[in-house]
Structure 1
Amino acid sequence: MAKTILIADDHPVYLLGLRTLIQSQAEKYEIIHEAVTADEVIIKLTSLPVDVVITDLSMPGQVHSDGLALIQYIKRRWPESTVIVITMITNPGIQNSLARLGVEAVLNKNSLSVDLLQTLKSLFSSPVRRAVQTVPGNLAVTLSPKETEVLRLLLRGLTVNEISAQLKRTKQTVSAQKTSAMRKFGVTTEFELYQYAQQMGLNS
């Protein structure tokens, strides 16, 4: 019996690519749902669960706008579903978080045409083996209290200048603490930094 699949991506080109790849193996896999927002993923899974969820990590959504929180919700509510995450984010911090959440594979969007079908084959022919190696789950990131303080304020929407004024530190000091946190997380963009900081609960 063919494995049932949900595919999700807010970019039409990638969604088309996923559909084309999977339909080339129609005897093995059947696309039941397609989604373009995180909320739509949940709505469709609620109506009919699937064997495999293939989803972008970062999609728009009103209720489930944070990618890591979306994956956590899926794994908790539908633990029997295999989850494959596709993303352009490659830093170890995000992969570590996804591994801890129980994601079976993490694929780079740039190599889907090569990796996706091989990953599905590997997962279902040898389900014990993880198809994509991720960062070991015991890696820990330790921020200093001042770095944590800066990140919390960044997540609240403050700029470096505003944080400098509020904490009575120079702009150079605040920037250095932000850069240090990025280096510890292994990220290179603010988007990645915010994603990882949210996963750590620094926006609470």
Structure 2
Amino acid sequence: MLSEKYRCAVIISRAPIIQFGLGAIMAQSFCEYEIIYCTTPEEMTLSLLQHANVIIVDLTNDLRQARSACKKYHSIMVQLLDIHWVFIVPLPIYPLAVELLLRSESTLLSSMEPVDGIINAVRSGNRRAEIISRSLLSENPYDEEEASAPALSLTYSERQVLRLLGKGWGINQIASMLKKSNKTVSAQKNSAMRRLTLRSNAELYAWINSGDGAKILNLNPTYGEDGKWKKVDQEDMLPLLNDAP
């Protein structure tokens, strides 16, 4: 039974040790919160969701069913907009988290996030949501094994953003066109770079201007033999935006 005196924090994790650790952080730093523990999103009742002020979700044990898990949380988030969601995201899930979970009321933290980062995220609340922590952004996804592996498939949202970048659109223009925030568009660009193992904007634009990039982004019709993109009007962009993934 939830008390009206306390604020409510829900911790969701399949790992008891992570539940205990996150609960200890909350109890020590936020004594005004009543803490409720769940293992999966299915355990959350409507009453619990209506009382929750912050929900901390550990995704580190959802690697095998990452898309399904992210979709479940996304479907809950779009219905309840007053909750601050804090997702603890392992690097392999990062692109999916950006695509499905990065919203005005959410924060993405690294699975290696220091305790202070978790505390600051909860303390900031919705005032500073839609944030990706520096710890997550600074994680180096490149190693020798990955360097020799083929690039992962881009998501539809990532292809959409890169496609528009290739046409000469800026982040602000893309955000306005796709009705997303600048942060979300930038995050999708960065997640695409991670998948393609590109380390700089220069490398990204070189890839976009390559034959492989043009083919993957369906940009062949406007790709000139001289290696430069031809200018197109906004009306010409509509078929690109409406392409199926």
TM-score (norm 1): 0.54
State the aligned residue count. 140
Correspondence for 2:159: 141
Correspondence for 1:156: none
Distance 2:56 2:82 in 1: 14
Correspondence for 1:76: 78
Task: Decide which of 181, 195, 199 is 1:186's aligned counterpart.
Answer: 195
Distance 1:59 1:103 in 2: 23
Query: Pairwise CA RMSD of aligned residues?
Result: 3.7
Give the letter aligned to residue 117 of structure 2: D
Cα distance per residue 1:39-74 (max 9 Å; x no partner)? 11xxx24132201111123667xxx98121122112
Distance 2:69 2:34 in 1: 25
Cα distance per residue 1:64-90 (max 9 Å; x no partner)? 981211221121222111111112136
Give the letter aligned to residue 87 of structure 1: V
Correspondence for 1:165: none
Over 3 Å counting, the alpha-carbon distance change for 1:74 and 1:102 in structure 2 is farther
Distance 2:84 2:113 in 1: 20
Deviation at 1:117, TM superposition (A): 0.6
Distance 1:25 1:38 in 2: 25
Correspondence 1:136-175 to 2 at 5 A: 140-141=158-159
The answer to whether the 8 A contact 1:8-1:55 is kept is yes
Correspondence for 1:9: 13
Over 3 Å counting, the alpha-carbon distance change for 1:27 and 1:12 in structure 2 is closer
Tell me the SS of whatever aligns to 1:77.
Answer: coil
Distance 2:94 2:15 in 1: 24
Gaps of 5+ in 2: 138-156, 161-190, 198-243
Correspondence for 1:193: none
Give the letter aligned to residue 108 of structure 1: S
Give the letter aligned to residue 87 of structure 2: V
The answer to whether the 8 A contact 2:106-2:131 is kept is yes
After superposing the two structures, state which structure 1 stretch, 74-83 or 93-102, moved more. 93-102
Correspondence 1:86-165 to 2 at 5 A: 86-89=88-91, 93-98=95-100, 100-123=102-125, 127-128=127-128, 130-132=130-132, 140-141=158-159
Distance 2:14 2:83 in 1: 21
Correspondence for 1:39: 42
The answer to whether the 8 A contact 1:84-1:107 is kept is yes
Tell me the SS of whatever aligns to 1:5.
Answer: strand
Quick check: which has more Rg, 1 or 2? Answer: 2
Deviation at 1:109, TM superposition (A): 2.1
The answer to whether the 8 A contact 2:81-2:105 is kept is no
Over 3 Å counting, the alpha-carbon distance change for 1:99 and 1:38 in structure 2 is closer
Over 3 Å counting, the alpha-carbon distance change for 1:92 and 1:53 in structure 2 is closer
Return the structure number with greater relative CO, CA threshold 8 A, min gap 6: 1
Deviation at 1:13, TM superposition (A): 1.2
